[in-house]
Structure 1
Amino acid sequence: MVTRADRRRARIAHGAELAARGLLDEGRVFRLAGSDDPAMQIVLSHLDASVVVVGARGSFPALRALVRGEADGAAVHLRHRSGTYNTPFARALLRGRGPHVLHLWRREQGLIVAPGNPQAITTPADLHGRRVARREPGAGTRVLLDQLLHEAGAAPGPASADYGSHLEIALAVAADAADAGLGVRAAATDLDLDFVPLVWESYDVILPEIALGAAGPLVAALHEHWVRSAITELGGYDLASAGTIEPVEDPPRSQR
């Protein structure tokens, strides 16, 4: 007779299961659509052609690519109205496909301002009437900025342009084309700008169960010591959950 304890001992560890999937998917390319992030560039530099970036930058374009089958995973950082990051979007868009979340890191987003913060910009409310460098519509950072401005009741001045990356946001501030912009700490540090921390957000890859094996090289890179060290040196990153994978379950009926 096989006992419950025997069944528990016979279960394959998640890491071993992922390795087995990787063997089955050997040679398959993992197509990653996603949001702009300095740490992701470090990870991608460690990978060979087993992971390729597809589509436009930004969380919403990444989700569209995933739903259309143009990508195997979407790197996103989207805060749901419930306050939860990413998981609700994985559940809704990958229903019936075994949605999973591959945790990358938590990162610090804040206001990038000129050295010394001469305009004393310390909260989203201080952006009212200011020149604010903004990401393009559909980018997770643009969504976050719009949420923060709405909550603060602030209306920035007219935007002269949309910017395609955190570095471009920082460059706009450095060139005095903007009074402030929302971005990651690393972008401010790169250009010797000041940084006003606002929120920590979860940056994850959402993917269907069928893509878990192909994601193996990405998961392995997240556990490499030098990759983690290089990301830590950027500042503003928390790697406590990096490389862990969680299935996305439906919430209890009482919470739907």
Structure 2
Amino acid sequence: MTRYREICTALARRAGSGDLCPGDELPGVRELAREWGTTASTVSRAQRHLAEAGVLELADRRRARLTADAAVAARRFLHAESVFTLAGSDDPAFDLVTRTLAGRVRTLTGQGSFAGLAAVRQGRADGAAIHLLHHSGVYNAPFARGLLRRLDPHLVHLWRREQGLIVAPGNPAGVTLAGLVRHRVAARRPGTGTRVLLDRLLLDAGEDPDAVRGPQLGTHLEVALAVATGTVDVGLGVRSAAADLDLDFLPVAWEDYDIALPGSALDAAAPLVAALHGAPLRAAVTALGGYDATRSGTVTPAAG
């Protein structure tokens, strides 16, 4: 490793760990050069490289300072080549995430929220995309806390999204939530967050979830396709899947959609977190319809 890269790595690690905080001022270039046993030009080159990465801000006649987002930028810098493996729930917006991160996120979605948490617990994935409504009315944190309790569980907020009944244009079958079991319904597989939500909605409407008739499908797009082809009368899914096929959408709930991950995976998730904070990805996700990306990229401990 070249000397300037060594300096970059050392400073980024201090910023990522919190040893250096946003707004902190670094020693002067000559002082750092003496500390590292190198030249002032090498230190200047390292600082310019970290400034390009968003860790430092530089100004004429001033010492380098850490940016407001230095910790996130430092982790992104340190783990720029890592690949974050994401298991769990399906969402049409993931195509935008994978394109934005150009190979740094590998998705194994479509298995469902519970299967994703199991993959993280078994070490087969770095994080799980989940949207699980607890009986307390809280999304995701109780499940991450319970299933990943020995792994220092955290949640990375992806977005809020709108779920609803996907029906043919004009709702010719007259579908309503209260009478859902009288129709052919495309349901998600057991263990998915959407199936948990469907069962909860039916119970709240006084219906028996076991009375639902229809195929069990793997993705929101498959649900929308089943409605579009007339295979079923209705399916529960996200608004963007209905919009893709020009179907009608009867909204029923907004839900928190998060990544549950161990504390040890936070560094590997840094490029993803940084992208979620970025305006371009937020705007692209919101444009799909039925998404709220206001808090995208927020990281919180699940324990408590």
TM-score (norm 1): 0.87
Q: Does 1:75 align with 2:84?
A: no
- State how far apart, in whole Å, the 1-side matches of 2:135 and 2:277 are: 31
**Distance of 1:235 and 1:51 partners within structure 2:** 23
Stretch moving more, 182-191 or 16-25: 16-25
Identity across aligned pairs (percent)?
56
Note closer, same or farther for the CA distance 1:21–1:47 as it changes in structure 2 (3 Å cut).
closer
Q: Which amino acid aligns with 2:298?
A: T
Q: Is the 8 A contact 1:33 1:73 kept in 2?
A: yes
Residues 187 and 214 in structure 2, CA contact (< 8 A), matched pair in contact too: no
2:205 aligned residue (146, 152, 156): 152
Q: 2:189 aligns with which of 124, 128, 136?
A: 136
Corresponding residue number in structure 1 for 2:178: 125
Shift of 1:15: 4.0
Aligned to 1:166: 220
Kept in 2, the 8 Å contact 1:19–1:213? The answer is no
For the aligned residues, what is the CA RMSD? 2.1
Offset at 1:97? 2.2
Residues in 2 aligned to 1:180 and 1:170: alpha-carbon distance in whole angstroms: 8
Aligned to 1:12: 21
- Counterpart in 1 of 2:293? 239
Q: 1:67, CA displacement in angstroms?
A: 0.6
Native 8 Å contact 2:98 2:104 kept in 1: no
Aligned partner of residue 205 in structure 1, secondary structure? strand
Number of residue pairs the alignment of both structures matches: 241
State the Cα distance separating 1:245 from its structure 2 match.
0.6
**Matched residue SS, 2:227:** helix
d(CA) in 2 for partners of 1:68 and 1:15?
32
Secondary structure of the residue aligned to 1:78 is coil
CA contact (8 A) 1:55 1:65 kept: no
CA contact (8 A) 1:112 1:170 kept: yes
Unaligned runs of 5+ in 2: 1-17, 23-67
Equivalent residue of 2:203, what SS? helix
CA distance in structure 2 between the partners assigned to 1:195 and 1:160 by the alignment? 19
Task: Verify the 8 A CA contact 2:72 2:274 in the aligned structure 1.
Answer: no
Deviations 1:188-242 (A, max 9, x none): 1111111000000000001111111100111122123322222111111011110
Are residues 148 and 97 of structure 1, via their aligned partners in 2, closer, same or farther at CA, if it must alter by over 3 Å? same
Cα offsets for 1:94-119 (capped at 9, x unmatched) = 22322111001100000001111123
CA contact (8 A) 2:127 2:260 kept: yes
2:3 is aligned to none
Question: Does the CA-based 8 Å contact 2:110-2:219 persist in structure 1?
Answer: no
Q: What's the secondary structure of 1:200's corresponding residue?
A: strand
Residue 172 of structure 1 and its aligned partner are, at CA, apart by 0.8
Which moves more between the two structures, 154-163 or 103-112?
Answer: 154-163
Aligned CA distance change for structure 1 residues 91 and 158 (closer, same or farther; 3 Å): closer
Answer with 141-150 or 20-29: which moved more.
20-29
Task: Pick 1 or 2: higher relative contact order, CA cutoff 8 A, min separation 6.
Answer: 1
Larger Rg: 2
Give the partner amino acid of 1:238: D
The AA in structure 1 aligned to 2:296 is A
How far off is 1:26 after superposition? 4.7
**Which string of whole-angstrom CA distances, capped at 9 and with x for unpartnered residues, describes residues 41-84 of structure 1?**
21112112322123652111101101101011111000011010
